């Protein structure tokens, strides 16, 4: 039975004993609207940790003024059921007032890695993510924390934050879970109507096209990018935000020849829904 806690004080109380007994604490930070991708994160955490805590908190700090903070789905009962089913020990569901008790004057910011991709198009987004993740790390003090590779830039940024700030937490990336046609699972997929759902797969197709070109020996990153974008643009239902080939560690666009491992990442709009996805080569 998962224990649901709402306050920082209760979290500290829950974990005091576990920590003293040398138990491994695994944290799965989420914004709720949980799907099979989150279930997989909890499953991996369950396999590696003695105590698994899932946090559910829609973090206002990481949404821009014109973004979907108020609309973001909050199906709490279904989320708690999924946590229970996946064997989470504790679910931390704080209110916004609990997390941001005072007006927040301290922020955590990772530079450079946030210059491109989502960082470029969502100013302040990663500062909101790294600030709240730091707070969650300080509240829960986990040994390990689990993040999906679908948010590849977020994962790279959080990894770098823990290294740069000497946080004693292992960051575990978990591969993206996909629908049978390949669409990456996302809480925002539930905004798509039937027609948009069909169109949404175009991003993954373009990513696969780029991946295939590189695998078959194309080294010119501009050429790969152009071919993939041309494929994407064939579908009038998709509006491209970015499509980049970047180095996996510092998330910088590869301008010249592709000589080592890269990540191909894209963001598109389908109607009013923004979708992101990535693949590695
Ligand atoms: O990936 C998410 O759901 C969020 O960005 C996170 C990591 C829970 C921080 O709010």
* Backbone φ/ψ region at 153: left (φ over 0), alpha (ψ -120 to 50), beta: alpha
CB proximity list for 113: less than 8 A, separation 6 or greater: 119, 153, 156, 157, 160, 250, 251
Reading the chain (281 residues) residue by residue, the pLDDT tens digits are: 899 999 999 999 988 877 768 899 999 999 999 999 999 999 999 999 999 999 999 999 999 999 999 999 999 999 999 999 999 999 999 999 999 998 999 999 999 999 999 999 999 999 999 999 999 999 999 999 999 999 999 999 999 999 999 999 999 999 999 999 999 999 999 999 999 999 999 999 999 999 999 999 999 999 999 999 999 999 999 999 999 999 999 999 999 899 999 999 999 999 999 999 999 99
Distance 62 CA to ligand 1 centre (A): 9
Closest CA relative to residue 248, chosen from 157, 115, 145, 169: 157
| Atom 5, ligand 1: residue with shortest CA distance | 129
d(CA 232, CA 239): 9
Q: Is the CB of 130 under 6 A from ligand 1?
A: no
Substitution site in 31, 148, 173 for ligand 1 pocket (most atoms within 8 Å of beta carbon): 31
CA end-to-end span of the chain, whole Å? 41
Encode the chain in three state secondary structure: CCEEECCHHHHHHHHHHHHHCCCCEEEEEECCCCCHHHHHHHHHHHHHCCEEEEEECCCHHHCCCCCCCCCCCCCHHHHHHHHHHCCCCEEECCCHHHHCCCCCCCCCCCCCCCCCHHHHHCCCHHHHHHHHHHHHHHHHCCCEEEEEHHHHHHHHHHHHHHHHCCCCCEEEEECCCECCCCCECCHHHHHCCHHHHHHHCHHHHHHHHHHHHHHCCCCEHHHHHHHHHHHHHCCCCCEEEEEEEECCCCCCECCCECCCCCEEEEEEEECCEEEEEEEEC
- Residue 19's pLDDT is 76
In this structure, the residue with its CA closest to atom 1 of ligand 1 is 30
User: Known catalytic residues?
Assistant: 38
In whole angstroms, what is the distance from residue 248 CA to residue 155 CA?
10
Q: Exposed, middle or buried: residue 30 (CB in 10 Å: 0-12, 13-18, 19+)? A: buried
Query: Structure tokens of 218?
Result: 């194309």
> Are 244 and 226 spatial neighbours (Cβ–Cβ below 8 Å)?
no
User: Nearest to residue 241, comparing CAs of 129, 70, 119, 155?
Assistant: 119
Decide: 31 in ligand 1 pocket, CB within 6 A.
Answer: yes
Find the 236 Cα to ligand 1 centroid distance in Å: 30
Cβ 151 under 6 angstroms from ligand 1: yes
How much is the pLDDT for 16? Answer: 81
53 and 78 Cβ atoms separated by less than 8 Å: no
Q: State the Cα angle at 253 between 251 and 256, rounded to 5°.
A: 140
Q: Is the C-alpha dihedral spanning 215, 219, 225, 230 positive or negative?
A: negative
Pocket test for ligand 1, best of 154, 171, 172, 185 (most atoms within 8 A of CB): 154
The per-residue pLDDT for 199 is 95
Report field, pTM of the whole predicted structure over 0.85 = yes
Q: Kindly give the number of the ligand 1 atom that is closest to the alpha carbon of 151.
A: 1
Q: What's the gap in Å between 29 CA and the centre of ligand 1? A: 6
């Amino acid at each position: 039975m998962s224990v649901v806690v709402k306050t920082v004080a209760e979290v500290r109380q829950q974990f005091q004993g576990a920590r003293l007994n040398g138990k491994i604490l695994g944290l799965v930070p989420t914004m709720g609207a949980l799907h099979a991708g989150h279930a997989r994160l909890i499953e991996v955490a369950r396999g590696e940790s003695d105590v698994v805590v899932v946090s559910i908190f829609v973090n206002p700090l990481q949404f821009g003024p014109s973004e979907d903070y108020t609309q973001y789905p909050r199906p709490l009962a279904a989320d708690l059921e999924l946590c229970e089913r996946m064997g989470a020990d504790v679910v931390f569901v704080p209110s916004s007032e609990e997390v941001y008790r005072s007006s927040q004057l301290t922020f955590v910011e990772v530079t450079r890695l946030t210059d491109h991709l989502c960082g470029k198009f969502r100013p302040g987004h990663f500062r909101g993510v790294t600030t709240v993740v730091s707070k969650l790390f300080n509240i829960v003090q986990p040994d390990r924390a689990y993040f999906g590779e679908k948010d590849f830039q977020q994962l790279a940024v959080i990894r770098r934050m823990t290294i740069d700030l000497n946080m004693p937490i292992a960051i575990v990336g978990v591969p993206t879970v996909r629908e049978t046609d390949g669409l990456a699972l996302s809480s925002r997929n539930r905004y798509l109507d039937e027609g948009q759902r069909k169109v949404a797969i175009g991003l993954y197709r373009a990513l696969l096209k780029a991946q295939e070109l590189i695998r078959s020996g194309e080294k010119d990153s501009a050429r790969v990018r152009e071919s993939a974008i041309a494929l994407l643009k064939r579908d009038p239902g998709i509006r491209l935000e970015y499509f980049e080939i970047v180095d996996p560690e510092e998330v910088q666009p590869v301008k010249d020849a592709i000589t080592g491992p890269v990540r191909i990442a894209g963001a598109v709009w389908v109607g009013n829904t923004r979708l992101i996805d990535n693949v590695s080569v």
